[in-house]
Structure 1
């Protein structure tokens, strides 16, 4: 009897163990990105695919950019800014170690920032550090950075992947074997196939839920669809096939999450060339644009309409789509008032991306309806850069500006829009000298309103972030304030 009871108890224990195991949330993840990075050092390359893997996972900066675009503490737990906006004093997190066991201290910060702004720097965003005059280690956990001039975006700049903190002991080998301070450690890289990260058991912050993450490189849209449907991957945070989304929307196994990126897609306009130098003409163009029809035709319905050059997920965003609502009759009235009652002819130079080529056909038809006859001229990227971006040899074009928080381009005297506004420039100058977050947001909203009112460009839509992943997976970013896959909050549910 005793033996039988023991056997029953053992069986029950085994059944309980199996049941518990069956319901335990998994701790591994395989996700896909479109492009394989050339290497894994974000401080020495411009490829966004580097940050797709390493940003906040392996490498961290003094600050970080959150999923809504806000600046948050990271390796710096806090900071103060002098009244003149020139001196930033950072207090570092205590007890942080790099993946090789070396301790993070102020000397690593000095090394990183001096290296990034050095004459021989290979940092792709060296301009981010151009305002720095000196970097000084006050003590092991305090760093003082003095600027040569106020730069209101300085804390934001420090949150880019190009500004992550590296150690002198490992900086030269980070391309092949990245060593950072993040919640994941680099494990392997199978060239042409995948890269694998594992949980950092000595992480200084809150422990992550995932023990292992594998990034697969899948550029072909058909292969991306097949891999998700087969379960070979559990997530594609930036799915490359909008035409295939319908296959997943009705499948309860998947979550389809449509967010925004930093890609403001605009009908670029040569403001310095007749007749586009007339406000009424630019306003007429704005009223002639049916944004939703453009999104439907060029992007299979995916994309967020915008009325200014700013990402909708940013906390400083202003909804200005209705500034110039679709109104062809109003467009014709404005053209007549500008001296073009019968319209005019112009050219539309289109670079290779599908959103431009498909969108260009739709926009040409919309403008033709109000009397503006466009000659479509397809160009390759090299031609676009030479003719449009550098030479300003164009009337209209279509392109997505994907750099984060880049509204400041409208203050550049030599920029290809050829737009000049003393009012806008004054706002940008004040923004550069302002550090207070609320005050910066107010100035950014004012800047958005100015360029919207001036109809500098035809503001079309924000490029979508099409995320498709297992319905039981949570914590992936819905929007992309910068190119990254921050996995620190990703976990499985049952």
Structure 2
């Protein structure tokens, strides 16, 4: 038996950024007119031959499904009346459609409007959905998040075992799980992964995206090569989300983790595919892992084509130059795909991907809660949803909670106190001593309320969102200037102060976080660990630099609360504090779309950070 113990800890968590794309120069967005779409267009995409719509439950560590059955009363028959017995006609059995024969081999060309910054999914610069599409294919996890947000064991042989008091988790790795070079996947790989995350003296220590849950591990014990038990100092509610990727110790031990996985991945894989090459700005190639321990992989390779423009991607998809893509749905995109229904299938659904405005609370003016509140009152979020989102997904509504999505039973609409009211926004500013200048822009404590808003350039829906916001706030007396950058260049602006030499170069940012079955990651995004000489010590993803110690304590308590109802209540308490202070303005759940050539079988929309590649081993061309 082997044992181990960490040396130090921090309290962090993470979500995955939905967008990172190739770097590009900053360019102002053209500010033109906007044609509004009416609600009559919202249901048009329901005509599709395959638009499978679903609503998903939120899972914590367990969930219950209650079923109720009832029967209608049997009809009564008057005994004096002859009743003709109905003659049952025999129905001819429907002929079951023969499944299409699977063709061996082939290349799937997957189009993406985003490109990784680096390939290391453990580091902050690799904390993106597009990185996960590659990383998850090579480095398997303990569980896989399914499209309905359930968690299925992957690397382990059945469910992990856990005890509540004291809290511990035991993993038994599948006997047949091995790396592509024939080396078994063992407890050594779990230990290496854990120690890489928790090595606070390493050169990469400040670049680790999250230590959520790992910092609570007190020690571990092994039983042979395939069983390991981690003992925790306290319960950790979303323990099933830990060890989402396991690293090969025999390949990476001794390497500089700061750089070793940035530009290429090793030729050793525990997943269905293995990295082959990356031509930055053009494409990335993954080839089949012929030694994959799971079910046989049909495809020869997957090539990721990177094109930072949704319109161009759609043209290539419609023209047969791509086999699959998952763009952010734009106005009329669904109609275009419907027009190609003879060749293209697609799914649309709402998952835990939420669009929002983030405030840099170090910026003068935005450091005042009443200014952020006035901005929230001055933006017509309902118009944004009705205009830009509902035409794609009629289920879309304004999101009024940053932690629970609108289609979950835990959802409480705390942000509805900031429903669109431009007069109330002006009254709030004036109550706090702001005066309207000759240029129709308010000045508060000598700070003119003029701010920049940035997002990922080339994304039509986001650019139109900015224009609607700009027009709304002009009526309130707040000036908005649009400054966008393509993908990675935009996200390089978003960081914590210590990584920006003080104040990061953004005022308001428009982007999306990709969540998971539990809000655990928000403790890393909106949490802080006190103040140092009146300056907040924020956690690695807290780009707003908003620090509220009560909020942090509640989020941390939630993450150690296993009971689902108590956990949900705590996260709603945290959401109420967020709504009162407005460091962020939720907009809507971002509709997710996956489209593929109907000669391919296997794809299924997964609107979580598991990505659309969650079942890439099952993709295959039909004969």
Structure 2 residue 291 is the aligned partner of structure 1 residue 186: no
Seen in structure 2, the aligned counterparts of structure 1 residues 33 and 134 have a Cα distance that, compared at 3 Å, is farther
Distance 1:71 1:273, change over 3 A: farther
Q: Distance in 1 between matches of 2:99 and 2:168?
A: 55
Q: Identify which of 588, 599, 622 aligns with 1:461.
A: 588
* DSSP-derived class of the 1:168 partner: helix
Contact 1:332 1:341 in 2 (8 A): no
Contact kept? 1:266, 1:459, Cα under 8 Å: yes
Q: Deviations over 1:63-107 (max 9, x none)?
A: 333335555432233334443565332232333222222222323
CA contact (8 A) 1:39 1:50 kept: yes
2:227 is the alignment partner of 1:142: yes
2:194 corresponds to 1:113: yes
Separation in 2, partners of 1:294, 1:79: 44
The 8 Å contact of residues 307 and 322 in structure 1, kept in 2 or not, is answered as: yes
Structure 2 equivalent of residue 217 of structure 1: 305
Pair 1:100 & 2:192 matched: no
Residue of structure 1 aligned with 2:453, choices 350, 355, 375: 350
What SS does the aligned partner of 1:428 have?
A: helix
Deviations 1:177-206 (A, max 9, x none): 443333x143844745452433656524xx
Aligned to 2:321: 232
How far did 1:383 drift?
A: 6.0
TM-score by length of 2: 0.61
Q: Deviations over 1:193-248 (max 9, x none)?
A: 452433656524xx367443422323153552343223232211236977755432
Structure 2 residue runs without a partner (length 5+): 1-96, 444-448, 531-535
With CA pairs under 8 Å and 6+ residues apart, which has the higher RCO, 1 or 2? 2
Deviations 1:96-135 (A, max 9, x none): 2222222223233223322443344658536424444434
Aligned-CA RMSD value: 4.4
3-state DSSP of counterpart to 2:164 = coil
For the pair 1:248 / 2:333, whether they are aligned, the reply is no
* Residue number among 453, 463, 466 corresponding to 1:360 in the alignment: 466
Structure 1, unmatched stretches of 5+, are 1-19
State the distance in 1 between where 2:428 and 2:503 align.
25
Partner in structure 1 of residue 411 of structure 2: 318
Contact kept, 8 Å, 1:306 with 1:460, in 2: the verdict is: yes
SS of equivalent residue, structure 1 residue 402: strand
Instruction: Provide the C-alpha distance between the structure 2 equivalents of 1:93 and 1:245, rounded to a whole number of angstroms.
Output: 42
1:74 aligned residue: 154
Deviations 1:269-307 (A, max 9, x none): 63996686455x544433322224435777896695422
Q: Does the aligned pair in 2 maintain the 1:287–1:325 contact within 8 Å?
A: yes
Shift of 1:46: 4.0
Scaled by the length of structure 1, the TM-score of the pair is 0.75
Provide the rounded CA distance (Å) in 1 between the counterparts of 2:175 and 2:562.
25
Whether the aligned pair in 2 keeps the contact of 1:410 and 1:419 (CA below 8 Å) is: yes
Report if the CA contact (8 A) 2:404-2:411 is conserved. no
More helix by share: 1
> By how many angstroms is 1:474 displaced?
4.5
SS in 2 for 1:195: strand
- Cα distance between partner residues in 2 of 1:368 and 1:479: 35
Distance 1:255 1:403, change over 3 A: closer
Contact 1:271 1:277 in 2 (8 A): no
Measure the CA separation in 1 of the matches of 2:389 and 2:604: 23
Map 1:250-265 onto structure 2 (within 5 A): 250-252=339-341, 253-259=343-349, 260=351, 262=353, 264-265=355-356
Q: What is the deviation of 1:459? A: 2.1
Q: Is 1:58–1:178's contact at 8 Å kept on the other side of the alignment?
A: no
SS of equivalent residue, structure 1 residue 87: strand
Larger mean CA deviation between 72-81 and 389-398 belongs to 389-398
**Structure 1 residues 378 and 54: CA distance shift in structure 2, 3 A:** closer
Q: 2:354 & 2:513 partners in 1: Cα distance? A: 4
Aligned residues: 466
Report the CA distance shift for 1:270/1:444 in structure 2 as closer, same or farther (over 3 A). Answer: same
1:362 to 1:226, Cα distance in 2 relative to 1, 3 A: closer
Q: Work out whether 1:306 is the aligned partner of 2:434.
A: no
1:13 is matched with which residue? none
Contact kept? 2:330, 2:388, Cα under 8 Å = no
Partners of 2:544 and 2:99 in 1: CA distance: 59
Tell me: CA distance 1:133–1:339, structure 2 relative to 1, closer, same or farther (3 Å): same
Show the counterpart of 1:5.
none
- Once residues 124 and 368 of structure 2 are traced to their aligned partners in structure 1, the CA distance between those partners, rounded to angstroms, is 38
Looking at structure 1, the residues matched to 583 and 278 of structure 2 have their Cα atoms a distance apart, in angstroms, of 47
Contact 2:132 2:611 in 1 (8 A): yes
1:10-49 matches, within 5 Å, as: 23-26=100-103, 28=106, 30-34=108-112, 42=121, 46-47=125-126, 48=128, 49=130
